[in-house]
Amino acid sequence: MYKSNFICCFLLFLFATASLFAQNNTNSPYTRFGYGELVDAGLAKHKSMGGVAFGSRTSSGINPVNPAAYTSIDSLTFLFEFGVGGRISQFSQSNGLQKTAFTGNVDYVALAFPITRWLAVSAGLLPYSFSGYNFTSQDSISLPAVGYEKFTETFVGSGGINQVYLGLSAKFFNHIAIGINASYMFGSLNNMQSVLFDNSATLSSYRNSTLSVSSLKLRYGLQAFHTFNNAHTLTWGGIFEAKSNMRGMSVVSVSQVEKNDTVKGFEIPLTYGVGASYSYKNKLTIGADFQQQFWSDVKYFGVTDTLCNRMKIAIGGEYRHNPNSKNILARMVYRIGANYATPYIQKSGDVGDVNVSLGVGIPFRSNRSFVNIGFEYGRAGSSAQNLIREDYFKISIGASLNEFWFFKRKFE
């Protein structure tokens, strides 16, 4: 009864937090383009390790990045994870202009549990992308018989795309695991542009655009793993997503013209990723990932010439001195990582996103559950060629609850 009630509460919590995901988690002007800022699906632990996850296989946490990893969960374990995050961003241009912004939001919520010793499931709510910006510019224009007229142009955007996933993983021969995530994508991206003339209301105009998403995507995962001399474990992993229709619809409203244009033709790209990790007992783990997304081939507003391919590489590791020590410092997990990603929006002179991270996992008394805290510093964009550079600092806090549920008690 307790387990059933807990799962029901989780599902209610899952849908309740969906509204929180719609809030902005960014203030970047670049989220005006494409589907906004893409969010990789890793949890707080993975973010602290630079996002390394394709070859990550552990019994102490959920890995929705590679669904093949669900079978690493102990056969008596129920896992529940929840995370929140905050971000401080400083935007700068070559002319010396700067702006600082803060955002915060729910990051994820997920659970996982085994069905048998070789089969496990997971479910959760993850972000796919965010959009959030608000900036203005002032200029003037020469009009016949009027002269110079000053005007203010304003750009405002908000919203995001979320994904509820259900995953299944199976293990074979104690060395191979496969998995699949079926994700329902939903949400909306809202963009507004207005031009307001100081002395001429009739010349003022606005344009509203709303992209609503309701779609399904599949991610396939594979892992191969082997332990040598009861101490050294190597894991190779990979994921694949086929290009598919987004099933999105954009409604555009334009003033003066007073019409609504409904636009279709949206897709998500073919994606693949590969990675590997090495673990020594229950102390040291290091890993590396590579991911490629073929955005240049997908339709956006019915055309394929606005986006470009995205590549990401990541490295990271974690260390735990002694899991059985009475000293909490010795039982804590220490993490470090870095990653680099190229943009999927075509911007001349953009050097991409560089990110470094640190984190700790603080165990509960049971030594099975953790509070994971991660810190990230990154730089995105460039201030060259009149572009905007973003320097950001992120903090991620996640609770990973690991409980024994699936065992029978015996009474003498």
Give the amino acid at 261.
D
What pLDDT is attached to residue 412? 43
Could you give the angle at the alpha carbon of 80 between the alpha carbons of 77 and 82, nearest 5°?
Answer: 160
What CATH number corresponds to the domain at position 152?
2.40.160
Contact 154, 161 (CB under 8 A): no
Q: Is 102 among the domain residues?
A: yes
Q: Is 387 among the domain residues?
A: no
Domain range for 44 is: 2-335+360-366+396-404
Q: Is 347 among the domain residues?
A: no
Q: Is 231 helix (H, G, I), strand (E, B) or coil?
A: coil
What pLDDT is attached to residue 114? 92
What pLDDT is attached to residue 396? 92
Q: Is 192 among the domain residues?
A: yes
What pLDDT is attached to residue 122? 95
Q: Is 200 among the domain residues?
A: yes
Q: Is 216 among the domain residues?
A: yes
What pLDDT is attached to residue 1? 44
- Which strand (E) or helix (H) includes residue 6? helix 2-21
Q: How many domains does the chain have?
A: 1
Q: Please choose, from the candidates 292, 208, 222, the residue with its C-alpha nearest in 3D space to the C-alpha of residue 257.
A: 208
What pLDDT is attached to residue 349? 64
Q: Is 20 among the domain residues?
A: yes
Q: Kindly give the confidence (pLDDT) of every residue in the chain, 412 residues in length, as a single tens digit, with 9 standing for 90 and above.
A: 445 545 555 554 555 455 555 455 566 777 888 898 898 878 999 999 999 999 999 888 899 999 999 999 887 788 999 998 889 988 887 777 778 888 888 889 999 999 998 999 999 999 999 888 887 878 878 777 667 778 888 888 888 899 999 999 999 998 999 999 999 999 998 888 888 887 776 677 888 888 888 899 999 999 999 999 989 999 999 999 999 988 877 777 777 555 555 667 889 999 999 999 999 988 999 999 999 999 999 988 888 888 999 999 999 999 999 888 888 899 999 999 999 999 998 776 667 899 999 999 999 876 778 999 999 999 987 777 667 888 999 999 999 888 766 555 544 4
- HEC readout, 126-194: EEEEECCEEEEEEEEEEECCCEEEEEEEEEEEEEEEEEEEEEEEEEECCCEEEEEEEEEEEEEEEEEEE
pTM, full prediction? 0.87
Q: Is 389 among the domain residues?
A: no
